[in-house]
Structure 1
Amino acid sequence: MRKIGFKHALRGIYKAIELEFNMKIHIVSMLVVIFTGIWLKIEPIEWLFIILAIAVVLIAETLNTAIENITDVLFKERDEQARNIKDISSGAVLLASIFAAIVGVIIFVPKVITFF
């Protein structure tokens, strides 16, 4: 039974990446950050914060996608409540992205300055 659940979970992640443009942007950003971290040889504790920031953004975007899809099913026509639901879930992604950007600036800017 667990194999099936895991299979569905992986399919969900794949579908989020396949169908959502913003998820593709997050994946590309994640790869850039990982390769930059490797290139700048960031410390293990810094990796923990980077991984946390990446996870928070990807989780927020995945949940936002699910919420938007559910909202589209529940509200067939334009509706102010549906708009609020979508805006709020998008706001969560924005907050997660701001958090990730702050983490990135704190970790990468000093290293880039000393590198050059």
Structure 2
Amino acid sequence: MQKKKNLQLSDLVKKAGFQLESNLNQTIKAKLNNTDLTRILANTQKNPDLQKLFGILIPAQKIPGNEDTVNTSKLVVRTEEKIDSIEEKLLEIDSKLDEMRNLVAKNKKK
């Protein structure tokens, strides 16, 4: 019963994470579909002054930059690792509780 709840919780958290990632990807795609922005980005690679200017403008426009994407990816990976760790600990606790229940049941029979 407890294992089922743990798996359901894990599935729920994973689904929420995938939904968040999907929403972020859609937002990024919508912003990048702007052809003017794409042209500016292409020119930015060629001109260091434009890179600096674009680095200032990105936060003002609330457009995620490379660093934002990298940081978000790192957070997602760390979150998944923490969820896996918590899931493992919960399964260990559940296993130990089962062992304790079995010991209590054996002692009651005596």
Do the two structures share a fold, i.e. TM-score over 0.5? no
1 or 2 for the larger relative contact order (CA 8 Å, sep ≥6)? 2
Shorter-chain TM band: 0.3 to 0.5
TM-score (ref. length: structure 1): 0.42
